[in-house]
Amino acid sequence: MSLRIGDTAPDFTIPTTKGEISFHDFIGDSWVFFFSHPADFTPVCTTEMGRTAQLSDEFAKRNVKPIGLSTDTVEEHMKWIADVDDTQNTVLEFPIIADPDLKVAQSYEMIHPGESETAAVRSVFIISPNKKIRLTMTYPMSVGRNFDEILRVIDSLQTGDAHGIATPADWRPGERVIIPPTVTNEEATAKFPQGFEEIRPYLRYTEVK
Ligand code: BEZ
């Protein structure tokens, strides 16, 4: 049974580089960027771990906790983190899950046998404080993720939750947003006193702060 947007993120208890964690307790009142990578001591993964660490202030600003996963052990992760810090000029503080038995990787469908029977592909789950899966993305092993996009979708989800809006293609924070078709013009007038532009009855833009 595949995990879908709107599902509750499955809970689990597992060793990490920051000690054993129970996932729902770890989420707490935060958003979570949960991502898998194929293996420690590999080049693309090293750059992704470094980038996540370099963006720690950006994640914290958005109340997001990053957490990684691979099917390596805690001991391997710890040795590799020293390399990541050294080569990517950063200090990696977020936890990395050790899942050598594939327990979590299987339950989150991070193992795609067409790529590997034992290593995870590059899955992304954005999870909100109510433990719901809000976004999923899956990259093949050979493609490093775009972290601008990861921050952008978090900004879109959080802006959508705060204002009841949707965001257009290639939206960036500060740009115009879209009033969903489920909101009538009468409701939109009350909800968005700043006004809105109607291009078509189904395509209406407004601005939110
Ligand atoms: C990497 O992180 O460089 C990588 C890992 C597995 C397959 C391909 C690339």
Taking only the tens place, the pLDDT of each residue in 172-199 is 999 999 999 999 999 999 999 999 999 9
pLDDT of 40: 98
Q: In ligand 1, which atom is closest to the CA atom of 47?
A: 2
In three-state secondary structure terms, 45 is: helix
Task: State in Å: Cα 160 to ligand 1 middle.
Answer: 34
The string of pLDDT tens digits covering residues 20-44 is 999 999 999 999 999 999 999 999 9
- How many Å apart are CA 103 and CA 16, to the nearest integer? 13
- 21-25's contacts with Cβ under 8 Å and 24+ in sequence apart are 21/67, 21/95, 21/97, 24/131
* Cα-to-centroid distance, 40 and ligand 1 (Å): 9
Interval 67-126: pLDDT, tens: 999 999 999 999 999 999 999 999 999 999 999 999 999 999 999 999 999 999 999 999
Instruction: Classify domain 164-206 at the CATH topology level.
Output: Antioxidant, Horf6; Chain A, domain 2 (3.30.1020)
Average per-residue pLDDT for the chain: 98
pLDDT digits (tens, 9 = 90+) for 139-151: 999 999 999 999 9
- In degrees rounded to 5, what are phi and psi of residue 186? -65, -45
Who lines ligand 1 at CB under 6 A?
38-39, 42-45, 141-142
**For residues 37-56, average pLDDT:** 98
Q: Is 193 a catalytic residue?
A: no
Domain 164-206 in the same topology as domain 13-145? no
Query: What was the pLDDT predicted at 1?
Result: 61
pLDDT above 90: percentage of residues in the chain:
99
What average pLDDT score do residues 54-60 get? 98
**Mean of the pLDDT values across residues 154-178?**
98
What is the predicted pLDDT for the residue at 59?
99
Give the torsion sign (CA, 74, 76, 79, 80): negative
Fold of 13-145: Glutaredoxin (3.40.30)
Domain ranges for the chain, please list them. Answer: 13-145, 164-206
pLDDT at 84: 98
Q: Which amino acid is at 28?
A: G
Residue 2: its pLDDT value, please? 87
Supply the DSSP string of 60-111, one letter for each residue: HHTTEEEEEEESS-HHHHHHHHHHHHHHHTS---S-EEE-TT-HHHHHTT--
Pocket probe for ligand 1: among 35, 36, 41, 45, the residue whose CB has the most ligand atoms within 8 Å is 45
